[in-house]
Structure 1
Amino acid sequence: MKTFVLAAGLATLMSGAAMAQTTAPATEGTTAPAAGTEAPIAGSATPTSGMEGGSPIVMLPEVQAGAAPAHFLADDLDDEEVYGANNEEIGEVEDIILSADGTVAAVVIEVGGFLGIGEKDVLVDWNAIEVAVEGDDIRLLAPTLTREMLEQAEGVDLDTLLVGRN
């Protein structure tokens, strides 16, 4: 009898796990891309129907070999060198500032100094940055900026600029 109860309990647990792994039906207004169709272009993936009665869950397309990055983690850009006009290194990404609505408000670029001494943070518009891929590496380009422009720009203290950083 113990064996039967144990087997029944195990079967119940396993069927529950199998059910949890099945895909939920699409909510009204949301569809998954059909097999073999092209994935959305960078920036076009929105929360499937967003919060307009649909699910807040987002499905992003898988990366395509040799294609420009459609998505990347903000952490991937941390300490990434930024190349300006004439393909010279002009600084490195210190952080990314997000607005309350989720858009990128600015990229914090660290410029100047030597071995961490005398550096300053400068806010740069995200639209001034181009993301490129070289092999498996991300390369950040700012073709309208030079090192001199960043060195002459006013630096910011992020601790006084952002909420909860003091």
Structure 2
Amino acid sequence: MDHSSHIRLASSQLTAPILEGATIYGPGDEKIGAVSHVHGSHVVMDVGGFLGIGAKHVGVPISDLEFMRDADGNVLAVTTWTKEQLKAMPEHVDL
């Protein structure tokens, strides 16, 4: 998918209601996860699993993702993290 024509989100748009559920694409443009929720300055992502079952929750700084809207208005993000790198991270636990 060519993300160059997608509209980047402004920092004021990086809010939980807008970001939750966004698909995350890795460096090879493969789907690597989805935003579960926003936790402070971090995004908690569901990585792996199938239909949300068995997914691992990992937190990354929101600045590690580039959020945008596609031509249909769907929010998505791209990152340099690979699925393998994310799966190797400690699981995020909300306190």
Gaps of 5+ in 2: 1-5
Task: Identify the match of residue 69 of structure 1 among 9, 30, 45.
Answer: 9
- For each residue in 1:78-102, what CA deviation from the matched residue of structure 2 results, as whole angstroms up to 9, or x when unmatched? 111101111111110001111xxxx
Mapped to 2, the partners of 1:131 and 1:140 lie a distance apart of: 4
The answer to which structure has the higher strand fraction is: 2
Mapped to 2, the partners of 1:131 and 1:116 lie a distance apart of: 21
Of structures 1 and 2, the one scoring higher in RCO (CA 8 A, sep 6+) is 2
Task: Identify the match of residue 60 of structure 2 among 116, 120, 124.
Answer: 124
Mapped to 1, the partners of 2:36 and 2:85 lie a distance apart of: 17
- Secondary structure of 2:84 counterpart: helix
Q: Does 1:94 align with 2:30?
A: no
Aligned length in residues: 87
TM-score by length of 1: 0.47
Q: Does 1:156 align with 2:95?
A: no
| Pairwise CA distance, 1:67 | 5.6
- Secondary structure of 1:151 counterpart: helix
Q: Quick one: percent identity of the two aligned structures? A: 32
Gaps of 5+ in 1: 1-65, 99-103
After superposition, the CA RMSD in angstroms is 1.9
- Secondary structure of 2:28 counterpart: helix
Q: Which residue of 2 aligns with 1:7?
A: none
